[in-house]
Amino acid sequence: MSNRDNSPNEAAPVNPAYGSGMFRRRIRLTSGDGWVFGELEDSSHAFRVKIAFDGERIIDVAPETIRYPMTTCSTAGHPLKAIIGIPLGLSASELAKQLTPRLQCTHLFDLSVLAYQHIQRTASERLYDIQIPDETKAKQPRPLEVFQDGQRVLSWMVKDWQIFEPTALASHTLRSGFSKWLEAFYPDDEQQKEWAWLAQKGYLVSQARIFDINKLGGTRKFVGDHMVGICHTYSEAQIHDAEHTHHSFIDFTDSAAELLAFKPLEK
């Protein structure tokens, strides 16, 4: 029987391991003749997407929602069909304008944008790793890092949704307003913008490590009217059915090699 908890503001259980662990996210992009394949896994999500294209546009998309935090995430592949027919060669921001990101699963959509961008590359494979250690009692800025094919390409010191280093970005936010300053800072550098987006989305998801997510299965904690409209799961059509899934959280602190292995969940 589902344990529906309609008091989302009550305190959620704290992760006893928080403060000594590491958030990790891995994304692999692979391309072939007329197709590109994207894979993403972190502590809260495991998604795949395959995009087919001809010489001019997207002709098909096949998403897989393997592991996800909310029950309504399982249908997140439906709105992604809107990408079919989109012409090739758009920037990430131009692609987003062609669709409605708030109707999408944020992470599946982001993976699809990354896969779409990979169509234009000559290298058939690219691997991204994003990591940030837990906050400690000292509450000092922490290193938020992005690696591309094993080489570090971004390193920020961050705290409370704010960048402290590098000095050129100090005081810039990772919350609302991020895309605006990012576009102004790197108007013509799509690669730098992509690395920055990877970092920001990683920081966002890393916040889930604070809580003992696997104790929330079947409840509606964190689900409230203030969240309506932010993504597919919290859309008007979905939010009233949204519950935390069971056994969705995997801690990859000491097992980075298991990322993208998509191991089955424990029952």
Q: Specify the pLDDT at position 4.
A: 45
* pLDDT tens digits, 177-226: 999 999 999 999 999 999 999 999 999 999 999 999 999 999 988 776 66
Residue in the block written with tokens 């896994």:
41
Q: Residue 241: what pLDDT?
A: 85
In the predicted structure, residue 119 carries a pLDDT above the cut 70: yes
Among 53, 189, 24, 183, CA closest to 118 = 53
- Average pLDDT, integer, range 52-72: 95
Do β-strands 125-133 and 22-32 pair in parallel, antiparallel, or remain unpaired? antiparallel
Q: Would you say residue 154 has pLDDT above 60?
A: yes
DSSP characters over 65-127: EEE-SBGGGGGTHHHHGGGTTPBTT--HHHHHHHS-GGGS-HHHHHHHHHHHHHTT-SSSEEE
The SS3 of residue 140 is coil
Mean pLDDT, rounded, of the chain: 91
Asked if the model's pLDDT at residue 8 lies above 70, the reply is: no
| AA identity, residue 265 | L
